[in-house]
Amino acid sequence: MTLRLRQIGDPILTQVAEPVSHFRDPDLHRLIESMLSTLKDSNGVGLAAPQVGSLLQVLIVASRPNPRYPDAPQMQPLVMINPQLLAASSEQVLGWEGCLSVPDRRGLVARSREVEVEYYTPQGSRQRVVWQDFPARIFQHEYDHLIGRVFLQRHP
């Protein structure tokens, strides 16, 4: 089922998501399936649960080569539950971003070039990953969604 993508102005996008506590909850797995199909239908490279109305710490990173990042890796969508940013390089890079919740807007955003992340898979196993460049950028964009930050949004 494809879920409605919340747009800028929807208060849920400025709230902080809660950690997942029950990995065997069938609602969690229904949410993950819905996010994967929403991501596919929207042709995005990332998605965070608040964007589909769920204040849970679930995000997906799905880098693929594209006109702005032609050497981006082609990734199977990676579902990350309760992600934690363990380290972020002080070296930052400016790059173009879009947001499925802010249609028709592109913006230049400074992000750490490298991140180290710890997360849980839908099966509940703890993993660590180190990303650079576009996957690192996508992660930081999605991680912002989990703490109620939307790119280019200036709080009045």
Ligand X SMILES: O=C(O)C[C@@H](Cc1ccccc1)C(=O)SCC(=O)c1ccccc1
Interacting stretch for ligand X, rule CB under 6 A, among 9-17, 22-30, 92-100, 124-132? 92-100
* Beta-carbon count within 10 A of 35 CB: 23
47 binds Zn ion (CB under 5 A): no
Q: Are 140 and 45 in contact (CB under 8 A)?
A: no
The residue whose two tokens read 């249609």 is 103
Please calculate the CA angle 146-127-28 and round it to the nearest 5 degrees: 50
What sign has the CA pseudo-torsion 112, 114, 118, 122?
positive
* Binding flags for ligand X, 48-77, as an x/- string (CB under 6 A): x-----------------x-x---------
Minimum Å gap between C-beta 24 and ligand X is: 27
For ligand X, which stretch binds (CB under 6 A), given 18-26, 40-48, 113-121, 124-132? 40-48
Among 44, 77, 83, 135, binds ligand X (CB under 6 A): 44
Examine the residue annotation and report whether 142 is marked as an active-site residue of this protein.
Answer: yes
Q: Does 35 bind ligand X (CB under 6 A)?
A: no
Check residue 144 for interaction with ligand X (CB under 6 A): no
Residue with tokens 């797995």: 29
Say which amino acid occupies 78: L
- Cα separation, 142 vs 93, in Å, equals 17
- Which residues form the interface with Zn ion (CB under 5 A)? 99
Residues of this chain that interact with ligand X (CB under 6 A) are: 43-48, 66, 68, 97-101, 137-138, 141-142, 145
